[in-house]
Structure 1
Amino acid sequence: VRPLNQEMGGSKQSCGSGNCCLSPSSDPPPPPCLWQVYGTVMTINQGNPAVQEVLVDSWPEFKVVLTQPCREVMWHWMTDFYTNTYTVYYRDLHAYGPLLASVGAVNWGQTFCIHGNMCPKASGRAPQQLNIYVLSGPNPRIPPYNASPEALSVRLSSLDVSHVDLLNEMKYLATLIHDLPSVCLLDAAGHPVSWIASYPFGATGPGYTLPQHRRRGYMGMLNNLIAKRLHALGYPSYSYVAVENNPMQRLQERQGFQPQCAWHDSSNP
């Protein structure tokens, strides 16, 4: 840990593949309001493929935890909404605001998104409200998924570098394919027709099915599989869904996920 701002007394976990000293314990996962930060710290401790760092308002006693892309990443991808992802958890709004405004924290001149339990007044941005869907308990049972007959004509696989061009056309990051769990369905020619990846903060998604292959149950199958894969790695079992996305909300609930709380997603610009 090194100083972030001497006036604030803040601290920052440096970039790299070393373990973060805010390491999650082996105890049951924390409440959902902590899961974005918790999942990011888990990813950092598994090699830090998304090149993130952790900031706190003070150390070792802290009231705010903010994860962000390392400086060399955030300055290289100034307009990349997906790479410039922050997560936050705070217990004290009065400590959160100064941390956001401190030098070396948020780069307000770039495109970015902050996930967490933020208050709109703290960030000064109008948030989008999202619903978190979770499987409750320290060891949730993810029910099996029965494939439809149409699913037998496709092949289960994982996304790889050969799929990057297609996925980037749909505004997905190559990082999510290279370094984080994903599953997909391939047609007879080996092209992905439906896929779902995972975020550096441990949530399931993003997912997509080509229009001509929809209404065949593909996304339900993949959502089930990626949840099992993330849970096997020790991540909390959760996803987030826009409040207006009723089909995905119904899919989550059919698979045992329950709406837990609102998640405020602030973006810039």
Structure 2
Amino acid sequence: MKVLQKDEQMAAESVLLKHLPESFPVYGYLRASNRNKQANVQIVVDMWPDFKVIICRPDPENKPASDWTKNVCFYCLDEQILRKMLLEEDVIDWSADFTFEYFDHSHTDVLKEVSTLRQVSHTCLLSAYQLYLPDSSHLVTPAFNSDIQSRISSLDLSHAHMVSQTWKFEGDELSYKKIVRQISNYPSYCITDHQGQPVSWLLLHENLALGMLYTVPEHRRKGYATVLVHTMAQRLLAEGYPVFCYVEEGNLFPFKLFKSLGFIDVPSYRAIWNVLNT
């Protein structure tokens, strides 16, 4: 096992670029970290430079971040090496509650086996489609009027509580802190009403995935979500960032929305979130 330093993280980013779209979750973390967007993850590989498994984990040296960042993300080219790392090496703090996030469903069995051997419970939180834009030529431009365009803005910290209360996983201080961090460090967009209050918004997660897309009920069916996704996608593409998202299985509206804008889904890929509890 090896913890990557900054120059090695840049090299690892280039390697993962060749494995898109499956490597998007870890690639996004690396790209953000390498551009000083965050400092709350540590990148671990089985060997260097020819790694087969790369893991993003909470940075044990960053205590404030590790207090609330409890997610582990990995990209795996050899499941047996992954199994060995999780069972035999001190890669993860198994004494703390955490979530394996964004992993492909094909790794479900090995994670269940490891969790059982580690004597921790595991619960599937959700399963999602992965959608992405390969490049700017795929992005479809929707029709929208100048009034909507004039009301596109960015979120600020005064909006964090409102966003937290409408997020599916809201309800505690950790979710609020996460949103504060996202608004502070990553691009966000909103559409305001004529009094300047946000009524629809879109943020980026720490690995640069589009997320928390929401429109207050009385302002729906006006095309706001479509405009926000297009605006964010344009910006990310122009700045050289990946454009991808996850849509929970069964959630047809956002799936159709992203597809209408030119996003491509990966039919064989399902992103899984597993919560592990000691």
Scaled by the length of structure 2, the TM-score of the pair is: 0.80
**Structure 2 contact 71–98 (Cα < 8 Å) conserved:** no
SS of 1:20 mapped into structure 2: helix
What amino acid sits opposite 2:3 in the alignment? K
SS at match of 1:68: strand
CA contact (8 A) 1:50 1:175 kept: no
* Structure 1 stretch displaced more, 113-122 or 222-231: 113-122
Equivalent residue in structure 1 for 2:20, among 21, 28, 31? 31
Q: Which residue of 1 aligns with 2:275?
A: 268
Distance 2:58 2:127 in 1: 23
Which of 153, 156, 159 is residue 152 of structure 2 equivalent to?
156
Which structure 2 residue ranges, 5 or more long, are not aligned? Answer: 113-121
Number of matched pairs: 251
Q: 2:46 aligned to 57, 62, 82, which one?
A: 57
What secondary structure sits across from 1:196 in the alignment?
strand
Q: What pairs with 1:1-269 in structure 2 (closer than 5 Å)? A: 10-13=1-4, 20-25=9-14, 30-49=19-38, 51-71=40-60, 72-73=63-64, 75-77=66-68, 83-101=69-87, 102-107=89-94, 109-117=96-104, 119-124=107-112, 125=122, 127=124, 128-136=126-134, 138-147=135-144, 151=148, 155-170=151-166, 171=170, 173-261=179-267, 262-269=269-276
With over 3 angstroms needed to count, the CA separation of the structure-2 counterparts of 1:210 and 1:32, relative to structure 1, is same
Aligned identity (percent) is 25
Q: Which amino acid aligns with 1:235?
A: Y
Structure 2 counterpart SS, 1:116:
strand
**Structure of higher RCO (CA pairs closer than 8 Å, 6+ residues apart):** 2
Distance 1:18 1:180, change over 3 A: farther
- Aligned-residue CA RMSD (Å): 2.6
Give the letter aligned to residue 47 of structure 1.
N
1:48 Cα offset (Å): 3.9
Letter in 2 for 1:120: T
Contact 1:37 1:88 in 2 (8 A): yes
- How many Å separate the matches in 2 of 1:19 and 1:229? 27
Cα deviation, residue 96, structure 1: 0.7
Q: Is the 8 A contact 1:148 1:217 kept in 2?
A: no
Q: Structure 1 runs of 4+ off > 3 angstroms?
A: 25-30, 125-128, 138-141, 148-152
Please state how far the C-alpha of 1:192 moved relative to its aligned partner: 1.0
User: Relative to 1, partners in 2 of residues 1:19 and 1:206: Cα closer, same or farther, differing over 3 Å?
Assistant: farther
- Larger helix proportion of the pair: 2
Q: Which runs of 5+ in 1 are unaligned?
A: 1-9, 78-82
Helix, strand or coil at the partner of 1:235: coil
Deviations 1:157-214 (A, max 9, x none): 0111121121222335211111011111112232211000012222211211111111
Aligned-partner Cα distance in 2 for 1:175–1:249? 26
